[in-house]
Structure 1
Amino acid sequence: MTTATRHPVELRYATASDVESVADGARVRLALEGSRGTVGVSGRVTDAALFRDALAATFGILASDLRYRGKDRTAYLAYLMKQGKRASALIWEAQKAFLDNALDGEKQQDAVLDPVLTVDPDSVSLEVFSRDESAYARLSFDNRLFEGREAAHGSTFLDVPPELPARVDRLRTYVPVSLEAHVALATPAAQPARAPRNVEVPHAWLRGFLQVQSAATLPASTCELAPIDLYNLLFALRARKAKKAPRALRFELVPGAPPRLVLEPWELVLECHGGTYNGAAPAVVRTFGRQRLAALARLLPHAKSVKVQLMGPGLPVFWVIDMGAATLTLGLTGWTESGWSSAAAFDVLMPRAVPDGLAEQLRERLRAEGPLPFDTLAASAGAPRESVRAALQLECLRGRILFDVARGQYRPRELMPTPVDAAVIRYGSELEARAHRLLGGDGAPGAGEVKLTKVHDVVGEGLRIHGEVVDREAVRSFFPSFTLDLEGRVKDASCGCPHHRRSGLREGPCEHLLALRLAYARRRAEEEALRQTPEGRKLIRAETRSYVRRDAESGLEMVYRVSLDGQVVAVEWGPRTGSPRHQRLWFDSDAEARGAYFARLEKLAAEGYIDAASALV
């Protein structure tokens, strides 16, 4: 990765973070970065077990990395040499040199920002983002967790040496524990001062960190779970291992009824006990990345309630664990590293138009008045609510505002000494920038034309999407296609451009495949909004919808799949795990078929069936 795709950051720590055992107890000493002014907090911890477990779980999320890594075959080559096989010393040395270079590049690629510690008048919080860009966590400690609290408000980076998580994990809770987080901790005179450390943070990593926070500002479906529900979910995941897709965690939400969790592919139903769902309409939402929930197991003894915020297909899912004096917010993106899903889903997070001065006005008000909810900010902003939300999203992408998911409030928080340029992190790569140029946007004409020629629903596999991309820069047309499987992953991609013919997907998708993926996501969002109007329904000639209903006593789930194709309406129904029945109806005109199609959907909704379209990626 070139220096042009990295954000340089200089970190100045006077000493290293550590855990000390003293005569009267234990002291957690956290070293803070010194270039951001006077920031710090200290006090005696009133609940040492909660403090230890919450901090250890957060450090575990920080260190998590589920990316695939190739096996080191150096030892095997050495074994072959001893056996007299075909493995000469030259081959072994070449293999070692290759692995050394690969590991050096890996270490350089893993250069990410240190955790961000923010001291507010009402709390102190710690933000981390996993190395594989799949999990974001914010741990917040209320003031009641500390006795004799002394604080200097602000935001800065926290030093986390490799040995610190293990030392925090070994904290003994039967002795008094105190916290000292300061810029300049008292150190022995013999200890030399630490030299400044320069870190070049990849823009892709920084982009993911800020976009996950920006996603939290969007409207969401919220459901309450009991701690025992989270325990049952983690136990079921630990006792089973899915060897094939789909591997989703499905939420079945019916207003007035407790939520249900369904584990795929076993269709294991977990009834929840945390209260009823209060949403306006029933929904089925499929989420991915469920194995990362194992990081929450450490918090089960302290959990009082669990709240889940479901943002939408392809967007992060936020789990909020309320532990009384501490709250952990875990955001799961469902993928490792920025890929196809992030390019399509996070495209909606980029504000299209923000009135001049509105973002600065909102930020200054938060700095003056403290945390405020969206409704309060929008009521006195003097601008439409859509503009206020876009301005707040822009400030989140700049790193100057934080959205507290647990409390539903916006907070001032400076991630960097200078605001992050939203244009720099607008795209994850040059190929993604080219894909957006092909589509056009932001008032600029497109450098090409992207057409969806065919979207074929393959039962049990996913969607096969074909398109045509007219690339005016290349002065030719390309015909990309790919399969979007049941987990939202792209496979079986093809394109005739030189990039794809040379490397396939090994170096990432080409701009034509990315443009087709973005075009499909945008068209699907437009169709969902359009089909809610009578005028929009008249334009629909081909569509497929799935409706589901689960029997409360037997747990059997019935699935109806209704399709409209011109003058034909096809219905497929039956148990999810059984053999379905089929029916095809022909009509004299498209209008008659369309009327029968929507009449069948309305009848299913009246009978208590849930539209499962939101569960698709």
Structure 2
Amino acid sequence: MSTATARHPVALNYAAQSDVVVTPDASRVQLALEGSRGTVGVSGQVKDPTLFRDALAAAFAVLSSDLRYRGRDRTAYLAYLMKQGKRASAQIWEAQKAFLDNALEGEEKKDAVLDPVLTVDPDQVSLEVFSRDESAYARLAFDNSLFDKREAAHGSTFLDVPQDLPARLDRLRAYAPVTLEAHVAPTAKATPATEPRAPRTVEVPHAWLRGFLQVQSAATLPATTCSIAPIDLYNLLFALRTRRSKKAPRALRFELVPGAPPRLVLEPWEQVLECHGGAYTGSAPAVVRTFGRQRLAALARLLPHAKSVHVQLMGPGLPVFWVIDLGVATLTLGLTGWTESGWSSAAAFDALMPRDVPDGLAEKLRQRLRQDGPLPFDMLTKDAGAPKDQVRAALQLECLRGRVLFDVARGTYRPRELMPTPVDEAALRYGNEREARAHRLLGDGGPGSGEVKLTQVHDLVGEGTRIQGEVVDREAVRSFFPSFTMDLEGRVKDAGCGCPHFRRSGLREGPCEHMLALRLAYARRRAEEEALRQTPEGRKLIRAETRAYVRRDPATGLEQVYRVSLDGKVVALTWGPRLGDSRHQRLWFDTDTEARTAYFSRLEKLTADGYIDAASTLV
């Protein structure tokens, strides 16, 4: 079975159905838990029913969200044309209807996802959900202080969420006492909604499970963190709700300057939102562009309860984590680099896979967490007696196996058994067979399996990057020459390749393995060059490069963009407002060394003048 169609069977056995029972004097939230994981549960009276209701509603909104594009059903229009005697035969109408029925049937099977995961810890109870479009992960945690007379049995299991449960939650009122009962079997008198249910098996696609675990494990990576006030999040959501853009770029840009409050910039309107949550405390200025901003609408219901908002930016193409502090509760929202989890993000998820994990280290760390509970990374590293990179890789491996959870809000690792048996990370290594073959071409599948060369990389100012390459496939005993243009949002256009897959279907069935290999090779080379250019030896190897720096005038709010390019003996300068006319200058030097010295001197002067390096966000 291929990786794209492989599925992980999960047996679910619920003794009842989750329900919300509302009476004039009191309300009771009955959450049915899966019964095969042992005794797990929590009960108690909720001190803040309004917060409890809105937080659960926000988490369930993430669970049901699906922002993928869906084509229109044209069967009704074809039937109308038939009645008018237009050119639409019955055969065409029947064929289209049969095609749509088959497509929707496959889509329903593809949409099979895991039920939410409920984890009861000694200090809190948490709920984890993953959206249907595989682009949003949320973890809602309630502290023990939210409940009176709390009784709990620790562990992890699945939670039943009927389709009408979010609507039933809206019936909860703050003036009436609210009691939470989350148990395997109902404790109250059975009602029609709590009748025993037949066991069922959910065939969870490996692609969905891979996204769920990798997005969560991305939280363990180093990140750039900033804080904004709840009113800033309100302004952002209001601006997104009242504006729609039909053309790219559609990014949410973070401008971070040490000692100054963060700025949020909405593209393509260049609307600047000044934040009020305190100064950015990072050591270096940064500009980070994120995409899929409409997914933040799920946070709107939490605004009345929010105390503060923290944002963790992993890097271009990697997930972004929004942590909403609600006082006695916390909601962590993790968003993938793009709403459409397309192949452009394959290189980003490749960075999430752990490497060089010593035998036994991962199991040792997991046992320590099970014994002592939540622990920060520094304490785990100190007790493990291993280098930090190996400890981080081991913890990331346990996250991918579903046995360890990283709590972004508190910065600690927690034990959490997602499945009764560990998830095989090898089965989730690649998203599909073509991605596995792409890694083989890069040499990840063994020596001599292939060779990937970047022949040309063109920076298209204001458009993106044009990438061309050569892929030597020794199994096919020939070479292929893939190419594509990657725009400012990471999307791909103008792609081409000479392989049979591309000649047959183009990009309709996804990219071929040669395009994937070229995309991965480009991402890896960019990472290597960025690390190498920080050293004097690495700078000597640079012959051609383009960097962009930005600075915003605090008085007018206008952004100035300064672009510096090195090409052999020539240094080219372009500067001016982002949305206006630019000025250009070219400088010629006698030797490459003189041009390179002038190039880096110019970059250092821009940094001293308050410009922010934004090359990775503008190209």
Which bin holds the TM-score, normalised by the shorter protein?
over 0.9
Q: Is the 8 A contact 1:562 1:597 kept in 2?
A: yes
Q: 1:7 is matched by which residue type in structure 2?
A: H
- What residue ranges of structure 1 are gaps of 5+ in the alignment? none
- Name 1:49's counterpart in structure 2: 50
Tell whether 2:429 aligns with 1:429. no
Separation in structure 2 between the aligned mates of residue 90 and residue 530 of structure 1, nearest angstrom: 63
1:300 is matched with which residue: 300, 303, 310? 303
State the Cα distance separating 1:616 from its structure 2 match: 4.7
Q: CA RMSD in A?
A: 1.5
Give the letter for the 2:155 counterpart: G
Q: Which residue of 1 aligns with 2:249?
A: 246
Write out aligned runs for 1:167-246 (5 A): 167-186=168-187, 188=190, 193-246=196-249
Name the count of aligned residue pairs.
Answer: 616
Is 1:275 the counterpart of 2:278 in the alignment?
Answer: yes
State whether residues 16 and 30 of structure 1, in contact with CA within 8 Å, keep that contact through their aligned partners in structure 2: yes
Residue 463 (structure 1) shift: 0.2
With normalisation by structure 2, the TM-score equals 0.97
Q: Deviations over 1:225-244 (max 9, x none)?
A: 00111111111111211121
Instruction: Choose which of 500, 503, 527 in structure 2 pairs with 1:501.
Output: 503
* 1:222 aligned counterpart, secondary structure: strand
1:572 to 535, 552, 574: 574
1:325-364 to structure 2, matched below 5 A, reads: 325-364=328-367
Is the CA contact (8 Å cut-off) linking 2:41 and 2:184 kept in structure 1?
Answer: yes
The C-alpha deviation readout for 1:514-572, integer Å capped at 9, x for no partner, is 00000000000000000000000000000000011111111121111000001110010
Alignment partner, residue 478 of structure 1: 480
Do 2:257 and 2:280's aligned partners in 1 also have CA atoms closer than 8 Å? yes
User: What is the alpha-carbon distance in structure 2 between the residues aligned to residue 115 and residue 406 of structure 1?
Assistant: 19
Mapped partners of 1:7, 1:170: distance in 2: 36
Match in the other structure for 1:144: 145
Q: What SS is found at the alignment partner of 1:216?
A: helix
In the TM superposition, 1:277-426 aligns within 5 A as 277-426=280-429
For the residues of structure 2 that align with 1:542 and 1:367, how far apart are their CA atoms?
Answer: 52
Q: Distance in 1 between matches of 2:219 and 2:289?
A: 18
C-alpha contact (below 8 Å) 1:340/1:490 kept by paired residues: no
Structure 1 SS opposite 2:204: strand
Whether the 8 Å CA contact 2:248–2:268 is kept in 1: the answer is yes
The match for 1:70 is 71
Structure 1 residue 192: Cα displacement: 5.3
| TM-fit CA distance, 1:104 | 1.1
- Whether 1:590 aligns to 2:569 is no
C-alpha contact (below 8 Å) 2:263/2:275 kept by paired residues: yes
Question: Which residue pairs with 2:163 in the alignment?
Answer: 162
String of CA shifts for 1:41-61, please: whole Å, max 9, x gaps. 111111111011111111111
SS of the counterpart of 1:424?
A: coil
Distance 1:551 1:192, change over 3 A: closer
| Structure 2 alignment gaps of length 5 or more | none
Of stretches 166-175 and 407-416 in structure 1, the one that deviates more from structure 2 is 166-175
The structural deviation recorded for 1:168 is: 1.1
2:554 partner letter:
A
CA offset digits 1:207-226 (Å, max 9, x no partner): 00000011100111100100
Give the direction of change, closer, same or farther, for the CA distance of 1:394–1:41 in structure 2 (3 Å limit): same
**What is the one-letter code of the residue matched to 1:414?**
E
| Over 4 Å off, 4+ runs | 1-4, 189-192
Report 1:451-530 matches (<5 A).
451-530=453-532
Encode CA deviations 1:393-413: one digit per residue, 9 max, x unaligned.
000000000000000010000
Native 8 Å contact 2:496 2:502 kept in 1? yes
Distance 1:478 1:490 in 2: 19
Larger CA deviation: 339-348 vs 84-93? 84-93
1:613 — aligned with what?
615
TM-score (norm 1): 0.98
3-state SS in 2 of match to 1:161: coil
Q: 1:127 maps to what in 2?
A: 128
Q: State the distance in 2 between where 1:73 and 1:614 align.
A: 42
- Distance in 1 (CA, whole Å) between partners of 2:552 and 2:275 is 14
Check whether the contact 1:437–1:446 (CA below 8 A) recurs between aligned residues.
no
- 1:535 — aligned with what? 537
How far is the alpha carbon of 1:193 from its aligned partner? 2.8
